[in-house]
A and B are shown apart, each in its own frame.
Chain A
Amino acid sequence: MQESQHFRNRAATAFLLIAGAILLLSLRYVYLQVVSHDEFSTRSISNRVRIVPVAPNRGLIYDRRGRPVAENLPAYRLELVPEKVEDLQSTILALSSIIDLPVDAVEKFQKNRIRHRVFDSVPLKFNLSEAEVARFAVDRHKFAGVEVVPYLARHYPFGELLTHVLGYVGRLDKEDLLRVDAGNYRGTTHIGKSGIERYYEDRLHGASGIEKIETNAQGRVLSVLERQDPAHGDDLILSLDVQIQQAAWDALGDRAGAVVAMDPNNGSILAMLSKPSFDANLFVHGISAENYSEILNAPNRPLFNRALLGGYEPGSTLKPFVGLAGLELEVITPDKQVFSSGNYYMPGGSRPYRDWKKGGHGWVEIHGALEQSVNTYFYQLAYEIGIDAMHDYLAQFGFGDRTGLDLLGENRGVLPSRQWKRGQYGLPWYPGETVIAGIGQGFNVVTPVQLATALSALVNGGSRFSPRLLFASKRLGDEQAQRTVAPLVQQIPVRDPANWAIVQEGMRRVVHGEQGTARAIKPDSGFQIAGKSGTAQVVAQEEGTDHQSSETAMHLRHHALFIAYAPFSRPGIVVAAVVEHGGGGSRQAAPVARAVIDAWLNQELQP
């Protein structure tokens, strides 16, 4: 009995001990559930509720007739929340057995992963095929933290035709974030990298929305608790006409070159292309290294936008402007005649400056000088105007300066002057350089878009616009699109409208005159086109050689230029065409301009 009493003491002690222990443990629960309740409540909510950005739909782009040229197509991408994935390496390995994962996609993912916020998803692959989506759906349970997400992928239905205008969107990277409001791009994966897509990025992108979602521990979205819709980006309507663009494309064939067509009345661009081109769609989903090096190493540099960046010697296409300068500055009169003997000598000079026609053109006044492109006339005229006066007059047409159109990266070109040469080379100006500047050679460099802009001002009575590709933009919900107006950069003073008419008449004769250099493109219908051909030297012409002939090696051949406008009486379109290594301007580039004008006319005649 004494032993049993001893046991009872021990049992009672044990009971007190365990009762004390459970009391202590209960106090721990009181601490968690009462004292720290608010803190843990908050953490419980933030555990399951996440605020995620919702990317806005990118604005669509149409041509002037409402044809979609950049659209959004439904697609699927593969996303991953690195924090939710147990073993990243093996998960990617496992994914690559059901989804085609190129090495560069994985590299890009690893790079993007670093800049991402914790628990934000990082895209791994865009534009999954239907088979890939289906295969993933089957195995989805094996991949915690991996999701297939629907999105809208940019697509350019016209492929390479519009690439140099539209540009393309590509994966958003660190550099891109520096030029945009990063907060507004948290949900965005693609951004305009070049062309219209880049220039109008802020309008196309729209405003990001917010979604409050409930997720489980694996990060799967269970429900949307609250949503603030994103604001759709603006739709853009370009002044570009795909039909005219296509005509220019076809007319260039497989030659390298550029075409810019503009409405001279308002500065809106009707066509603009550079050939060769490439398919912008390749860049949207991240171009493979293989495809990229193919484009990079292709002959004639498809990535190079000749319409904007291509610097060409204007050659004789500058003559109408030089002629107008002579008339307006009263250096010459309309009936002034100059004798072309085939060789021109500066007063007191001994070096001959050639005419393109052996033996010369005889006596010519301004009309004939333009019609037949008589070099001697313009050698003499330039000599008489002087380089600085010529520079100042031609500068009004925008030569030597950016046109300021709505694309980035334009080439300035060169409009030489004494000051320019001193600044550039530290050398004095030689009179001979003035003479050849009169026929657009020497230091002169122009871009196709500059030529079109300058010609517009020449035919519309001196209004120089900064050209515009954007015709109008439409905000979501707006009934009416907002019209864009090309800014008038300069109103060139007109001393005598007759002077302008004389130059225009000279250009008409280039096509319609009996000796017009481009009379081959004269329409049979009686429709009147005015133009001027030009030849840009690739290598300086030497005695006895002719770089226009087809026997000359291709890369040594001159570039063919042609500027034109129509209809002559009431101009509605201005065209500048360049065919690289085409040889003579009238033979190679004029038919391209004619094809563009025909296409424009076809469009105008349609209701």
Chain B
Amino acid sequence: MKRFFPGWIKWPQLDYPLLLSLLLLIGFGLLVLYSASGQDISMVYRQGTRLAVGLVAMLVLSQVPPHILRLWTPYLYALGLVLLLATWFFGVGRSTSRWLDLGPFRFQPSEIMKLAVPMMVAWYLHPRRLPPDLLSTLTSFAILLAPALLIARQPDLGTALLVAVSGCFTLFLAGLQWRLMLGAAGLAAAATPALWYLMHEYQRNRVRTFLDPESDPLGSGWNIIQSKIAVGSGGVIGKGWLNGTQSNLEFIPERHTDFILAVLSEEFGLLGVVFVFALYLFIAGRGLYIASMARSTHARLLAGSLSLTFFVYVLVNGGMVSGMLPVVGVPLPLISYGGTSIVTLLAGFGILMSIYAHRNFIR
């Protein structure tokens, strides 16, 4: 084999359990998307193209040594902040300014931050003594809060919280003391009423609807109710692929994007739900395992927080679809139809694979 390749091209060293479970998830996701799109094969093709782009990004990043990634980190973070500021002035999008129009394609800068924030916190913490002292903790909070607040202003509260949470995970894995964590949690709880006043009216309505969806079954409660009906009517084994009436008759809103889990639950039942949940748990667990194998602090923190953030998406989306959490615009990772998030997620797994591939080097 080596005869056909120049010496500097190494046969990619990949984490096959992670890759296989990702491919399994993606394949199943495309199956569900075909049904959720109303059997629109062109939508499946488009999603497939994005996945291909994401997989290429994953493969490329998997070959970049973690210390190179570490060198890029401050620049990536700074670029992300600049772009977020740019949305303030040049943003496009329905009623919110989340998107930047870059000619051929539109681009959501907040997606960069999903990777850049844990990377930056890890970058900041790695040369320091761990567990972090109060000063490093506060600096870390500043690193994660700056983009989170900019994203919240767009307004995109869901992503803002996820970005902030991903930074918190880095701190947690860095060994932040429990009492500091409890203090921060207490502070956050105390700040909740203030948050209410900072929220836009549509965000408050989402919370109100979440608390009592039946109060307006045809209006804002519609999404939650229809989604719950879809999930509940699926039963244990589901109505069968392409047979979901809630989905095919368009009762489920955003059925191919944020609520695709409702389609899955309706057609594949509890078995399907448990199957994908198990896959997600395996992927996150594998990520944490890779993190534990890493030799550098930076790689450990980065791999761990990426895995945990990925899983938080699943929990939030799963909670939203089943009516446990308010409706926030969080997609089901790798299954929901949509551009930027798939590429960022797979790029994140590329970083994980790079960390896995370089686990034996100490730098």
Contacts and interface: CB of A to CB of B under 8 A. Distances in A.
Interface of A: 3-4, 6-8, 10-11, 14-15, 18-19, 21-22, 25-26, 28-30, 32-34, 36-37, 39-41, 43-44, 47-48, 83, 214-218, 222
Contact of A18 (B226, B301, B315): B315
Contacts of B273: 26, 29, 33
A221 to B, nearest CB: 11
B303 to A, nearest CB: 9
B291 A11 contact: yes
B230 A33 contact: no
Contact of A3 (B169, B246, B297): B297
A177 B248 CA distance: 38
B249 A7 contact: no
Given A7-B291, A25-B322, A26-B277, A217 B229 contact: no
B251 interface: yes
Given A15-B288, A18-B284, A40-B231, A29 B270 contact: yes
Given A25-B322, A47-B246, A32 B231 contact: yes
Contacts of A8: 292
B304 interface: yes
B236 A44 contact: no
A22 B315 contact: yes
Nearest to A8: B292
A43 B291 CA distance: 46
9 closest residue pairs by CB, A with B: A40-B232, A44-B233, A216-B249, A217-B250, A32-B232, A33-B270, A217-B251, A40-B233, A11-B288
A568 B280 CA distance: 104
A47 B229 contact: yes
A33 B234 contact: yes
A253 to B, nearest CB: 61
A224 to B, nearest CB: 15
B231 A29 contact: yes
B285 interface: yes
B315 A25 contact: yes
Nearest to B324: A28
A122 to B, nearest CB: 16
Interface in B309-341: 311, 314-315, 318-319, 322, 324
A19 B228 CA distance: 23
B131 interface: yes
B249 A222 contact: yes
B300 A4 contact: yes
Contacts of A15: 284-285, 288
A207 B318 CA distance: 50
Given A34-B270, A214-B249, A6 B232 contact: no
B173 interface: yes
B50 to A, nearest CB: 26
A22 B275 CA distance: 12
User: Would you call the interface of chain A mostly helix, strand, loop, or mixed?
Assistant: helix
B158 interface: no
B88 interface: no
B288 A14 contact: yes
B250 A33 contact: no
B265 interface: yes
11 contacts: A3-B297, A6-B130, A7-B304, A14-B169, A28-B318, A32-B232, A40-B229, A40-B231, A40-B232, A44-B245, A214-B249
Interface in B285-311: 285, 288, 291-292, 295, 297, 300-301, 304, 308, 311
Given A7-B297, A18-B284, A25-B315, 14 more contacts: A10-B172, A10-B175, A14-B172, A14-B304, A18-B281, A18-B308, A22-B311, A22-B314, A32-B231, A33-B231, A33-B273, A40-B233, A44-B230, A47-B251
A254 B324 CA distance: 78
- A6, A28, A29, A216 — which one has the most chain B CB atoms within 10 A of its CB? A29
A18 B319 CA distance: 13
A19 B277 CA distance: 10
A30 B288 CA distance: 27
A34 B269 CA distance: 9
B173 A48 contact: no
B249 A48 contact: yes
Contact of B270 (A14, A30, A47, A48): A30
Contacts of A43: 229, 232-233
B231 A19 contact: no
A48 B244 CA distance: 11
Contact of B233 (A19, A37, A217, A218): A37
Interface residues of B, number: 48
Nearest to A216: B249
Contacts of A3: 130, 175, 297
A6 B234 CA distance: 44
B262 to A, nearest CB: 10
B263 to A, nearest CB: 13
Contacts of B318: 22, 25, 28-29
B351 to A, nearest CB: 16
Given A22-B314, A22-B315, A215-B249, A33 B235 contact: yes
A34 B235 contact: yes
A466 B270 CA distance: 75
Nearest to B227: A32
Nearest to A5: B292
Contacts of B322: 25, 28-29, 32
Contacts of B173: 7, 10-11, 14
Contact of A22 (B228, B277, B288, B295): B277
Contacts of A25: 277, 315, 318-319, 322, 324
Interface string B105-143: 000000000000000000000000011000000000000
B60 interface: no
A86 to B, nearest CB: 9
Contacts of B146: none
A144 B42 CA distance: 25
B218 interface: yes
B23 to A, nearest CB: 21
Contacts of B265: 29, 32-33
B24 interface: no
Interface in B187-230: 218, 226, 228-230
Interface string B247-280: 0011100000000000001000110011001001
Nearest to B301: A7
A97 B131 CA distance: 69
Nearest to B308: A14
Nearest to A215: B249
B228 A32 contact: yes
Nearest to A46: B229
Instruction: Report which residue of A10, A28, A48, A222 has the largest number of chain B beta carbons within 10 angstroms of its beta carbon.
Output: A10
A18 B309 CA distance: 11
Contacts of B314: 22
Given A7-B300, A26-B277, A217-B251, A18 B229 contact: no
Contacts of B131: 6
Question: Most B CB atoms within 10 A — which of A28, A32, A222?
Answer: A32
Nearest to B278: A22
A19 B175 contact: no
Nearest to B300: A7
B87 to A, nearest CB: 29
A47 to B, nearest CB: 6
Contacts of B280: 22
Nearest to A214: B249
Nearest to B274: A26
A440 B269 CA distance: 90
Nearest to B246: A44
Given A7-B292, A14-B172, A34-B270, A21 B315 contact: yes
A218 B231 contact: no
A220 B203 CA distance: 31
Contact of A217 (B249, B274, B285, B319): B249
B235 A37 contact: yes
A32 B229 CA distance: 9
Nearest to A9: B175
A567 to B, nearest CB: 72
